[in-house]
């Protein structure tokens, strides 16, 4: 991995904000889950990481944020650099202070606290001044106006969509340069999903936050992402720009649910696809 300080060519592109290179991850010292995973997120990009259930998407995010440690997981090969510093197998709080924040799957809010208390508590890692705290609150309320209306409401009483907004808002309170989002669409109605993904695009555009977005729902993710990767069985099997992925026949059929012949293919076709995949892999 070449670092910026060693980069003597002034016309060379800047190194990506995040680079994951040939990463292998194991749980409990033996269970191999990620195999030779490489991906990058450039400054200002939204990058989608797509894949079906059990593909290793959450493990990828948790290996970047080092939260796999709490599940006895470890990066056993390869490296992860954020803004030119190695961050794999680090103290997760140090990584948050560097500006990399993960929103976990499942919308975990502090249910007995108000919306605003949830947001204030989430700014703790960066030790903000009162003034910085107020500015951060206003920023979050600007992205999610509904949270401002409900700022004194106990967060356990929010709807699923509002709780998803609150957990993203909590992550913004730590002023991330890179936000890792784990399946923000999960279990929400299409209308709410659309609203949340519009807000994610605004965070990227207006606050300049780079985003690595994990989704099973390829369609909504590629609607806002600039580039994407597909993870299958712990390996990256496809990567491309938004347009390349949207135009890819395999992705269309098996992740977007659209096929050239119209409608979904049969299970037999899926089995043939899997066999073909094995040959390719
Ligand atoms: N703490 C853990 N210990 C052992 N295996 C795990 C653990 N967490 C996840 N796995 C396994 O790793 C694989 C990928 O899981 P995960 O990263 O959660 O996938 P995804 O988020 O794509 O659904 C699955 O086979 C899962 O059973
Ligand atoms: Mg997951």
Q: Looking at ligand 1, which atom is closest to the CA of residue 183?
A: 21
Asked if residue 50 has its Cβ within 6 Å of ligand 1, the reply is: no
The CATH number of the domain covering residues in 4-107+177-247: 3.40.50.300
Per-residue pLDDT reduced to its tens digit, 138-152: 999 999 999 999 999
Q: Looking at ligand 1, which atom is closest to the CA of residue 55?
A: 22
Q: Domain-by-domain residue ranges, the chain?
A: 4-107+177-247
**What is the DSSP track for 106-169?**
T----TTSBHHHHHHHHTGGGT--HHHHHHHHHHHHHH-HHHHHTTTSBGGGS-HHHHHHHHHH
First to last CA, the chain: 25
Per-residue pLDDT reduced to its tens digit, 56-66: 999 999 999 99
Q: Whose CA is nearest to atom 12 of ligand 1?
A: 33
pLDDT at 108: 87
State yes or no: pLDDT of 267 exceeds 50.
Answer: no
Compute the distance between CA of residue 74 and CA of residue 95 in angstroms, rounded to an integer: 15
| Single pTM value for the model | 0.89
Per-residue pLDDT reduced to its tens digit, 91-111: 999 999 999 999 999 888 999
31 bridge partner residues: 27
Compute the distance between CA of residue 185 and CA of residue 198 in angstroms, rounded to an integer: 12
């Amino acid at each position: 991995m070449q670092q910026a300080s060693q980069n003597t060519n002034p016309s060379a592109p800047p190194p990506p904000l995040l680079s994951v290179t040939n990463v292998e991850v194991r749980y409990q010292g033996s269970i191999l889950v990620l195999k030779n995973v490489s991906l990058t997120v450039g400054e200002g990009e939204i990058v989608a990481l797509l894949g079906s259930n059990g593909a290793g998407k959450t493990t990828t995010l948790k290996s970047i944020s080092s939260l796999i440690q709490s599940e006895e997981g470890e990066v056993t090969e390869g490296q992860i650099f954020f803004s030119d510093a190695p961050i794999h197998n680090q103290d997760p709080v140090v990584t948050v202070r560097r500006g990399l924040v993960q929103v976990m799957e499942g919308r975990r809010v502090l249910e007995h606290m108000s919306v605003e208390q949830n947001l204030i508590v989430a700014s703790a890692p960066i030790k903000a001044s009162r003034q910085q705290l107020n500015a951060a609150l206003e920023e979050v309320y600007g992205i999610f106006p509904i949270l401002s209306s409900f700022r004194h409401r106990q967060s356990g009483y929010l709807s699923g969509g509002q709780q998803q907004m609150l957990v993203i808002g909590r992550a913004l309170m730590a002023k991330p340069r890179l936000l890792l989002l784990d399946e923000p669409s999960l279990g929400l109605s299409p209308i709410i999903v659309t609203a949340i993904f519009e807000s994610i695009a605004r965070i990227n555009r207006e606050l300049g936050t780079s985003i690595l977005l994990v989704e099973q729902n390829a369609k909504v993710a590629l609607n806002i992402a600039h580039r994407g990767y597909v993870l299958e069985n712990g390996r990256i099997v496809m990567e491309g720009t938004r347009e390349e992925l949207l135009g890819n026949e395999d992705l269309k059929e098996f992740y977007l649910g659209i096929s050239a012949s119209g409608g979904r293919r049969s299970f037999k076709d899926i089995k043939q696809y899997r066999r073909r995949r094995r040959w390719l892999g």
